[in-house]
Structure 1
Amino acid sequence: MYNLSPIEPVDYLIIGHLTQDMTENGPVLGGTASYAARTALAIGLRVGIVTSCASDIALDSLNGAAISMRASEYSTTFENIQTPNGRIQYLHHLASGLDYSMVPRTWQDAPIVHLGPIAQEVDPKLARAFPDSQVCLTPQGWLRTWNSDHKVHPTDWPEARYVLENASAAVLSIEDVQGDESILEDMLSSIRILVVTEGARGSRLYWNGDLRYFRPPEVPEIDPTGAGDIFAAAFFVRLYQTHDPWEAARFATQLAANSVTRPGLAGTPTIDEVQTALLEIIPKA
């Protein structure tokens, strides 16, 4: 365990690996858990992270969050290579799996629980473990696997129906399903609220049979890394606060758009950006 004395209740619980991503400038902290935690902190929530990583990973950028950590020999480590035909991703190391036994008792009734796997590390049974919480998903890590040379590629998600039926909302990228609309249609039969992000084109939100598109404002893009995770965390928090998916998507769209103007974790929202996004209106296309 890490940074858990005393173990206080949290408002937003994120379960997923913190990663050590390989870049030209050396290893940097990444993973859905990092971006989601910093976003929820900026909005003003008490944040808990359940994760597994090596003891030497630098966690200074997560100050303010409480972390329940299972020690692992390695931190989950990704390498992304940009090519003319798109991104090639490699998974060099994988930390230990995550299950309910790692969740402190005082976190088990957190108002918002975000399951954010990045490499098949989150036990699908966790979707049913928080009956009094708003359980939310970013299922990217259940939709990909890797081969013997560590190259990451898409895969089927056999537990999809079980997990989705026990969740309040899910956010995923169109890239997570390789643009296959039939996969999205199958998901929609199991969950009431589903958001599909589409990079600079924004997102589409399905809610009880209705569909709306949300287009972001035009901004200079420096680095889109983590924008989808920032969108998801902002959406889940605002959904809990308002019970209005349309408003949650509007709010999340603004913060995700801001994020691409700065590199890496620096793209997570500032307190001022959160306050502005609560007031600004952006058009729905």
Structure 2
Amino acid sequence: MQIDTVVAGHITVDVNVLPHGIVENVLGGTPTYAGFALTTLGHEPGVVSKIGKDFPEHFPPLFSKFGLNTEGLLITSHNTTKFENTYSEDGEREQVCKEVSPPIKPEDIPQVYLDARGFYISPVMSELPPETVSKFSEEGKGITMLDPQGIFRELKDSGKIQLRKPDNFEEYLKNVDVIKVGRDELKIFDKSTEEIMKELVEMGPKIAILTLGAEGCKVSSNGEITEIKSLDVEAEDLTGAGDVFGAAFLSHYLETRDPIDSAKFANAAAGLKVKYKGPTGFPSEKEIKDAL
């Protein structure tokens, strides 16, 4: 198997509380949503993640069945990361974290993975320290894209998550090619979107993307900011939409090196995905292009 992309971040087992009902024991996390999106788009991704012995036995074979390489999937003595995601009618999310797997260290990355063309790095609960991200960006040969969602999450005693900007945020960004920040994390900056994008690019990335849910996204590239509208869809489940966006952007960008066209492609991919509950309904390249 020739690994052309790598997805890093913890696999999770989620409970999603939606306005239309509750979905329990849902396979989640970056390797699930970004990984399955990449395989649907014709890639052969590798997974870097940690799970516990409590992970349901029928889940691991799914990753191999869907075309993901699991050499970087490590089983630990701790429990698998678990979230309860509660969504309001307008898409706002409240999260409670029940369990957290151990951090992913630089030595946990299989050496063969570093030859990949692209790396999608998206921690869910600060499991990827700066030195691990740096190994991808400094030793890896491909494009490095970071979604720092989990870097902003601080776990309280109640299991509730509080968002805050880490003091070492710049350490994560200094060698990253693309940074994508979601609307939940934007509130931390307390600045205009233009100011946020300028700040992000000054830390190192060539491309900064802000995803804004139903309002689409904004892309900063070559000193210009471009606004892109979202698809008009009825969303059933917003979980994983950010990772599908990131995976689709990276997939298209690896082929075109066009950040604006890649963001349009990613916006459509995320819009098509949220029409389905859980880790299902990942759109093909043809479906995305038809929607565009």
1:83–1:228 distance in 2 versus 1, CA, 3 Å: closer
The CA distance in 1 between the partners of 2:23 and 2:206, in whole Å, is: 42
Q: Is the 8 A contact 1:79 1:91 kept in 2?
A: yes
Which residue of structure 2 lines up, in the alignment, with residue 233 of structure 1?
247
Query: What secondary structure, in the 3-state scheme, does the structure 1 residue paired with 2:115 have?
Result: coil
Candidates 149, 153, 175, aligned match of 1:140: 149
Alignment of 1:22-41 (within 5 A): 22-23=15-16, 24-41=22-39
- Percent identity at matched positions? 25
Rounded Cα–Cα distance in structure 2 between residues aligned with 1:87 and 1:140: 13
Q: Which residue of 1 aligns with 2:105?
A: 99
Once the two structures are superposed, residues 204-224 of structure 1 have per-residue CA deviations (whole angstroms, 9 ceiling, x without a partner) of: 111121011111221222122
Shift of residue 82 of structure 1? Answer: 4.2
1:163 counterpart residue number: 172
Deviates more, 1:250-259 or 1:173-182: 173-182
Amino acid corresponding to residue 168 of structure 1 in structure 2 = D
Query: Which residue matches 1:277?
Result: 288
The 2-side partners of 1:248 and 1:38 are apart by 18
Q: Cα distance, 1:87 vs. partner?
A: 3.4
Question: TM-score, normalization: structure 1?
Answer: 0.88
What TM-score, normalized by structure 2, do the two folds share? Answer: 0.86
Which residue is 1:257 aligned to?
Answer: 271
Mean Cα deviation higher: 127-136 or 254-263: 127-136
Is this contact kept in 2: 1:168–1:192, CA < 8 A?
A: yes
Which range moved further: 125-134 or 90-99? 125-134
Paired residues of 2:103 and 2:129 also in contact (CA < 8 A): yes
The count of aligned residue pairs is: 271
Aligned to 2:185: 176
Instruction: Tell whether the 8 Å contact from 1:70 to 1:96 is kept in structure 2 after alignment.
Output: no
> What's the CA shift for 1:14?
0.7
* Whole-Å separation in 1 of the counterparts to 2:198 and 2:158: 32
Does 2:213 align with 1:212? Answer: no
| Contact 1:9–1:107 (CA under 8 A) maintained in structure 2 | no
Range 169-178 or range 80-89, more displaced: 80-89
Tell me if structure 1 keeps the 8 A contact 2:120–2:246. no
Counterpart position of 2:210: 196
Of the three residues 2, 11, 21, the one matched with 2:4 is 11
Local SS of the residue matching 1:156: coil
Of the three residues 51, 62, 69, the one matched with 1:53 is 51
- RMSD of aligned Cα (Å): 2.0
Amino acid at match of 2:164: T
Q: Which amino acid aligns with 1:157?
A: P
Unpaired runs of at least 5, structure 2: 17-21
Per-residue CA deviations over 1:142-173 (Å, capped at 9, x if unaligned) read 01111111110101222222221201101121
Q: Which amino acid aligns with 1:17?
A: H
Of 238-247 and 58-67, more deviation after overlay is shown by: 58-67
Provide the residue aligned with 1:3 in structure 2.
none
Go from structure 1 to structure 2 and tell me whether the alpha carbon gap of 1:276 and 1:81 turns closer, same or farther (over 3 Å shift): closer
